[in-house]
Amino acid sequence: MSAVDLAEAKARLSELIDRAETGEAIEITRGGKRVAWLTTDDRPRRPVRLADLQALTRSLPPSTETAADLVRAMRDSNCALGFSTQLPA
């Protein structure tokens, strides 16, 4: 198991995740104490059953607004909270 301090982990996160995906366990430390541990998530994913998805969809109330109006409302509320809608360059 490799140990990496938090500042280094922040700078090299993509690389550390790649290493964890290959099966290497990586310990992240702060002040010499372990605060996190990167490992592979090898739990099998459960497939979504179509019947379950259809039942969920039927249980939802019908929407009273169009998708465009919903997106506009979400965008406007984010702007009101100070979040930018501009994509980074």
Q: Provide the β-strand partners of residue 5.
A: 29
**pLDDT over 80 at 87, yes or no:** no
Confirm whether 6 is domain-assigned.
Answer: yes
DSSP three-state, residue 26: strand
DSSP 36: E
For the domain that residue 32 is a member of, what is the CATH number? 3.40.1620.10
**CB contact at 8 A, 12 and 4:** yes
Using one digit for the tens of pLDDT, what is the confidence trace for 15-46?
Answer: 999 999 898 999 999 999 999 999 988 788 88
Q: Which region among 4-13, 59-68, 76-85 has the lowest average model confidence (pLDDT)?
A: 76-85
Q: Could you give the number of structural domains in the chain? A: 1
Q: What is the pTM of this model?
A: 0.48
Among candidates 34, 38, 48, 45, which has minimal Cα distance to 13? 38
Q: Is residue 15 part of a domain?
A: yes
Classify residue 33: in a domain, yes or no. Answer: yes
Provide the domain limits for residue 26.
Answer: 2-38
Rounded Cα–Cα distance for residues 37 and 26 (Å): 6
